[in-house]
Amino acid sequence: MAKEVLIEFQNITKTFGAVVANNNVSMQIFQGEILSVLGENGCGKTTLMNMLAGIYYPDGGKILIRGKEAHIHSPKTAFSYRIGMIHQHFKLIDVFTAAENVVLGVKNGSKYNLKDVKKRIGEMCDRYGFHINPDKKIYEMSVSEKQTVEIIKVLYRGADILILDEPTAVLTPQEISKLFDVLRAMRNDGKSIIIITHKLNEVMEISDRVAVLRKGEHIGTVKTSETSEQALTEMMVGKKITLNIDRTKVENPADRLFVNGLNYTNSEHVKVLDNISFVARSGEILGIAGIAGSGQRELLEAIAGLQPLDSGEIIFHRPKKDLPVSFYHKTLKQVIELAAEGKFHYADGTPVDLSGKSKKEIRRLVNEEKILFNEDEIMNLRDKTPLQIRELGVRLSFVPEDRLGMGLVGNMDIIDNMMLRSYRKGNSILLNRKKPENLADQIVKGLEVVTPDLHTPVRRLSGGNVQKVLVGREISMAPKVLMAAYPVRGLDINSSYLIYNLLNKQKEEGVAVIFVGEDLDVLMGLCDRILVINSGRVTGIVDARTVTKEEVGLLMTKTDAGKEKRDEKENG
């Protein structure tokens, strides 16, 4: 079947700062086909398509449409080339009806008449097999209906080339099969459809051809009928690259954090965490691998006390060890009460008796770290706020994905950001600025943070330096559990290695490190074990030293449907 070449990318290159999103990509899209663009997170597949949709403009190379060079500067220009993109986050106005959303911004000279619009929507529905009520308000719609409105919106503007960015991510299996029927009907009508995805089974089911991208480069385009999931996975993840990360042996691992059967369903009735269980051990880095949005964020936030859960337990286990009471942020009153219960002792083991001592004297004993105690060894952290967790004496550090949103306050300087963790310490009504200042100084010197001075707002620092400040602060807490979500995202190579080394050092000091990453090479080079999470479920916990990239890739991408097919193949 000789098909006409509709779009041709010629040596397309796009960079964001130092990051190369697309490097010298050349590929073709035919008329009347469904093309899947497949790749891991951050491989540049969405960036490439955004250039076709007019969101970005390529730094180098050419886009040819029907053989002629096209300059697509805006979504509007893209529409003039009959290209429409349906983004992952819908751009719809909630209080408008479907019809109002469809007609928004369309200036075709005709009179504004919603009746005509509704009629045309009805015609499109009949032609491609959609179902939509044009008078329904968007806020009353399900995700699948909203997606339908987006597709109609693009078709109404006369698009012949539809780009769908991960269209199935939010749909149920029934909705996916309905969507696929619609897409097939559109293809048979002569439209070209591009689906950006990382779900292998869907690629096999729907597409005519598959273009695979890896780290910004076009690896190859193959006919779906001539390939297999196995072959695609290999193209997607590539050969293993050995990174020069100094991974030490795990010494004296002890079970530190037990996570048992975590379940969480969000407000859109999507099961974000589905029966997640694992154990994080001290002196070990546990990697978490998975496609973005598989529940990694919710999992870490649940452990950190920021995410309510439907069910499950998070048990922290601490070896018995004497700790100074000043560590636990207790008020004087609490200290006196606990002392009366006989919970404290001195370094030589004799119990503490505070009765008859003046407040000043007690405060002195606390501040000089004379009073020691150890609390219960096993604590359930579920449904505890971060503050409660801290008051329990659980040293849990969290380096969140959103550095300047959740981790640091952008407009405050390094010292003030240090105080976010320590402002409750001390008994004076005035803040103690000396200690945080010393700490900030140590971090800046120790981690080579590039900053004019300690009083520069952290948002003015570069991404790598912001991350150093955040990781430095979290590590300075001498944590027992350190969780880091995508700690090297957006960082250059040197900063990345500095962060890897810091994590490794924590591991050597006996910290249970949980590392959420996106680069499989890094996960396999840095971690000791890798937990693979897929749509909120744990699909495997593997030994990072022996596992292959393909195995992890398959665990990340396989769905139940795919698994059944493979099982059938193996059995038959």
Contact residues toward another protein (CB under 8 A) are 75-76, 91-96, 100, 103-107, 112, 137, 139
Shortest distance, CB of residue 91 to another protein, whole angstroms? 4
In sequence order, the 6+-apart residues with CB closer than 8 A to the CB of 220 are 211, 212, 235
At 126, list the tokens. Answer: 């009949």
Shortest distance, CB of residue 150 to another protein, whole angstroms? 11
d(C-alpha 93, C-alpha 104), whole Å: 10
> How buried is 280 (Cβ within 10 angstroms: 0-12 exposed, 13-18 middle, 19+ buried)?
buried
Nearer to another protein, 108 or 428 (CB): 108
d(C-alpha 426, C-alpha 565), whole Å: 62
Nearer to another protein, 138 or 259 (CB): 138
Contact 527, 512 (CB under 8 A): no
d(C-alpha 81, C-alpha 72), whole Å: 8
Nearer to another protein, 140 or 448 (CB): 140
**Share of the chain residues as helix, strand and coil, in percent rounded to the nearest 5:** 35, 25, 40
Nearer to another protein, 5 or 104 (CB): 104
d(C-alpha 48, C-alpha 27), whole Å: 11
Nearer to another protein, 150 or 202 (CB): 150
Rounded alpha-carbon distances, angstroms, from residue 71 to 14, 31, 54, 56: 15, 20, 9, 11
Radius of gyration of the chain (CA): 28
Shortest distance, CB of residue 75 to another protein, whole angstroms? 6
Shortest distance, CB of residue 85 to another protein, whole angstroms? 10
Shortest distance, CB of residue 162 to another protein, whole angstroms? 16
Nearer to another protein, 59 or 550 (CB): 59
Nearer to another protein, 77 or 275 (CB): 77
Contact 225, 36 (CB under 8 A): no
Shortest distance, CB of residue 183 to another protein, whole angstroms? 23
Shortest distance, CB of residue 197 to another protein, whole angstroms? 23
List, in sequence order, every residue forming a beta bridge with 295; answer none if it has no partner: none
Shortest distance, CB of residue 92 to another protein, whole angstroms? 7
Nearer to another protein, 91 or 364 (CB): 91
DSSP state of 390: H
